[in-house]
Structure 1
């Protein structure tokens, strides 16, 4: 569903050509995994409610982690329970809103709106992390919101609640991302992943109770397994990609998701992107790529918080 905003990775020494190629390979794998997960969510949503999809994904992932616990428990540590719980809750609610969006509106439209996360992340960094954001990045933020407004067209078109859910999901994900560096630095990325899965499961159980049901076909269970597997593979691929390659180099590759998901939406569900969504998508993509570029420039200049 969501992705790490471009430029969000921890700083690394200069990469070699081979490292950048390796990072690009991992990012292509991440794009393919994330696209498959999004399409899988839409397919499973034809059988069960999106709240059940989130619950099953978190539950199945938790079971896998419990099986692996004897091998991995030494890597688990919690420095601040509050940070883990708050971050996990943000990710959980963001996931519920995101899966609801994927189930209700065209896949390409949902994906475009998810790409507003870097725009929200820029605003949050300026307001709460004392990051210096120049006028050009603010202009890019404004362009991104204009793009979102063109897609939503409030007052001119019936506004589907799932569109607003997509923006809310992106905002919550951006807030969670702002906490991720602190949590992962203190306790490691594995602990951050485990806590987010467990908190999401605890949060999801009461939400899913009114619509409790399971996939009723072999295809449904197969696609559900695909959603779990691709979600995990995407997380691993993202970590590896940003480990090897520069965030600015990876940013354009992430937008291949729009192409893959747009094609899948057309082939599987007959979804066609209208001209307003195309124009809005162009503004959002260009603005977020420019934000990534300016963040990279600021990072190389050594400005605090860049």
Structure 2
């Protein structure tokens, strides 16, 4: 295209949304998203440390979520919520999220909130590492270097072979790995499955398949606060996901992604207020390494995305 005798390239006419300022409402919503998730984990730790079986707590969390999602989406009259084109992968994905939650809640029985979230924040590195063999999206040497640095941060938090090593940390590592698989399956299915079915089955399968084990392990709470939390703590997750959707409509994904690391601050603060816990300096150091690695991965993804969008289109 020519304007005033000057030829404009696609780069000249393209609006770069990454250069736009993030709306204050989107910023507040992004912080609120991970506050809700931190409140969810804090409530779960309170419940499992009060004597309730982790699998029963997980089942209650997803049963409430499935019920709310069914009502909100009017699943009984919405064919998209039930439609599946790839049943095996939908089933695996539908089980992966409850299993992630169960492993995380098992870790919370003995670990501090800051410890579990520090390990869980390495999930972007695991996704990047697994995306090559599972999706054909191979990382370059710079991103692999960031992945290796991130795993060093995990080792600093875990401290294997020392007296400070807690075997429960293996639950956190396993939860992070299963969540990475869940994320990859979500990306793989996003092109073929309806959004309503991806949301609905992420809780429905867990409710159905975990029910026998949950009720065998069930022990009814005897404190009023436990009853209230058991009935409503899953709402924190629902609110968080709703806020995330609203934030995504106001700002691009690369702008929202770094706010995931605010969850470390929320979890540390809530751990101190509710349980009197404060992470040691090794956990803080490891978390800082993991966060730095994750932020670099986001930066590299942005650079590569902009390079692809600026590349000339072959005709």
CA–CA separation in structure 1 for the residues paired with 2:149 and 2:18 = 32
4+ runs of 1 displaced by more than 6 Å? none
Report matched runs for 1:27-176 at 5 Å.
27-45=30-48, 46-68=50-72, 69=74, 73-76=78-81, 77-176=83-182
Is 2:224 the partner of 1:218?
yes
Partner of 2:266: 260
Partner of 1:3: none
Q: Equivalent residue of 1:185, what SS?
A: coil
Q: Count residues in correspondence.
A: 292
| Contact 1:61–1:197 (CA under 8 A) maintained in structure 2 | yes
Compute the displacement of 1:237 (Å).
2.1
Cα pair distance change 1:206/1:157, threshold 3 Å = farther
Compute the displacement of 1:72 (Å).
5.4
Compute the displacement of 1:143 (Å).
0.8
Partner of 1:25: 28
Structure with greater Cα Rg: 2
Cα pair distance change 1:158/1:210, threshold 3 Å = farther
Compute the displacement of 1:71 (Å).
6.9
Cα pair distance change 1:298/1:275, threshold 3 Å = same
Contiguous gaps of at least 5 residues in structure 2: 1-14, 310-315
Partner of 2:196: 190
2:206 aligns with one of 196, 200, 207: 200
Q: Deviations over 1:233-255 (max 9, x none)?
A: 11222233334323332233221
Compute the displacement of 1:104 (Å).
2.3
| Contact 1:22–1:245 (CA under 8 A) maintained in structure 2 | no
TM-score normalized with structure 1 length? 0.87
CA–CA separation in structure 2 for the residues paired with 1:301 and 1:154 = 40
CA–CA separation in structure 2 for the residues paired with 1:22 and 1:189 = 25
Compute the displacement of 1:110 (Å).
0.7
Partner of 2:5: none
Contiguous gaps of at least 5 residues in structure 1: 1-11
Q: Equivalent residue of 2:191, what SS?
A: helix
| Contact 1:126–1:132 (CA under 8 A) maintained in structure 2 | yes
Q: Deviations over 1:89-117 (max 9, x none)?
A: 11121111012122320011111111011
CA–CA separation in structure 2 for the residues paired with 1:56 and 1:166 = 21
Compute the displacement of 1:17 (Å).
4.4
CA RMSD of the aligned region, Å? 2.3
CA–CA separation in structure 1 for the residues paired with 2:285 and 2:21 = 36
Report matched runs for 1:217-236 at 5 Å.
217-236=223-242
CA–CA separation in structure 2 for the residues paired with 1:208 and 1:163 = 23
Compute the displacement of 1:31 (Å).
1.4
| Contact 1:92–1:203 (CA under 8 A) maintained in structure 2 | no
| Contact 1:106–1:271 (CA under 8 A) maintained in structure 2 | yes
CA–CA separation in structure 1 for the residues paired with 2:100 and 2:75 = 30
CA–CA separation in structure 1 for the residues paired with 2:114 and 2:146 = 22
